[in-house]
């Protein structure tokens, strides 16, 4: 387990619990109250405050063998707890890529189907999601220069994250945050959140890169972005002239676009998109 001293003091966690992830520690963490952001069968995310600081807590309960087998049959890696998020946040921070700073992590249980775990991270203050920011564009059209800077910043952030060996596996704009104060100064500072499905790989398979980038593209298809913005993203992500990119990786980027369109059609059937894009 990992427990930062300042959080231990803020929560008055006893020293014996700080050494080992025992039942008393889990009972204390499970009893924390706050604003619930998400609650599903095996995972709860809530925001709480302690000693004047804000934190986000993710509590994971055992997913059960049925869920594990369902994911494996679908050729998906099951999420068994908070370890992915804990490791990925620390990995990104070590490489200078903005992500939530971990304050605590623990897990208990030997069986992967019955393992309980949690991770607590510092809240990213003065940030908002790109989804919330762009939702206001209908009523508050942004300056074209701001859109251009956002596209370039997202491309460079995605490139840095993937270069660090991290594939997000839920890489939508709702999981990218932009710092408000910096944006008001004309700068774009980004951070990534919700890394519970992320994987750290020495070399990321191209199909996983394609899925990450297609998810990102899918999540912006309803926005007032031109084809030029897409080409600018591709150029910045690869860091090469477009002519060279298409000569080397044309099939890869066509695959990204094709998968994003498929995701959009699926979203249309489920009523999850605005329907402005014609796939």
Alpha-helical (H) ranges within the chain are 5-10, 15-19, 23-30, 64-73, 83-94, 130-135, 144-163, 180-184, 206-218, 227-238, 242-270
Rg (alpha carbons) of the chain, rounded to whole number: 20
CA angle 225–230–232, rounded 5-degree value:
110
Q: How far apart are CA 170 and CA 44, in angstroms?
A: 17
CA nearest 137: which of 189, 173, 108, 161?
173
Q: Which of 5, 122, 132, 170 is catalytic?
A: 170
Contact (Cβ atoms closer than 8 angstroms) between residue 81 and residue 60: yes
Residue 44 in 3-state DSSP? strand
Pairing mode, if any, of strands 166-167 and 199-200?
antiparallel
Q: How far apart are CA 43 and CA 45, in angstroms?
A: 7
Residue 135 a catalytic site member: no
Q: How far apart are CA 141 and CA 94, in angstroms?
A: 37
Residues with catalytic annotation?
A: 170
């Amino acid at each position: 387990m990992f427990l930062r001293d300042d959080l231990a003091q803020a929560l008055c966690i006893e020293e014996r619990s700080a050494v080992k992830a025992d039942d008393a520690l889990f009972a204390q963490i499970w009893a924390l109250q706050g604003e619930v952001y998400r609650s599903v069968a095996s995972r709860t995310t809530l925001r709480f405050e302690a000693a004047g600081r804000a934190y986000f807590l993710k509590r994971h309960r055992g997913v059960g063998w049925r869920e594990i087998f369902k994911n494996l049959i679908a050729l998906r890696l099951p999420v068994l707890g908070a370890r992915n998020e804990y490791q990925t946040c620390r990995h990104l921070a070590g490489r200078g890529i903005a992500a939530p700073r971990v304050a605590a992590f623990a897990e208990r249980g030997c069986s992967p189907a019955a393992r309980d775990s949690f991770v607590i991270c510092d809240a990213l203050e003065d940030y908002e999601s790109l989804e919330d920011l762009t939702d206001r564009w209908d009523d508050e059209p942004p300056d074209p220069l701001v859109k251009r800077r956002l596209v370039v910043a997202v491309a460079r952030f995605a490139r840095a994250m993937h270069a660090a060996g991290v594939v997000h596996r839920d890489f939508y704009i709702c999981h990218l945050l932009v710092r408000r104060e910096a944006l008001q100064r004309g700068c774009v500072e980004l951070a990534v959140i919700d890394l519970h499905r992320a994987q750290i790989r020495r070399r990321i398979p191209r199909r996983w890169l394609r899925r990450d980038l297609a998810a990102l593209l899918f999540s912006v298809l309803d926005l007032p972005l031109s084809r030029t913005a897409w080409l600018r993203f591709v150029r910045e992500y690869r860091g090469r002239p477009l002519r060279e990119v298409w000569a080397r990786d044309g099939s890869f980027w066509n695959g990204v676009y094709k998968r994003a369109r498929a995701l959009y059609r699926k979203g249309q059937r489920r009523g999850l998109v605005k329907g402005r894009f014609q796939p």
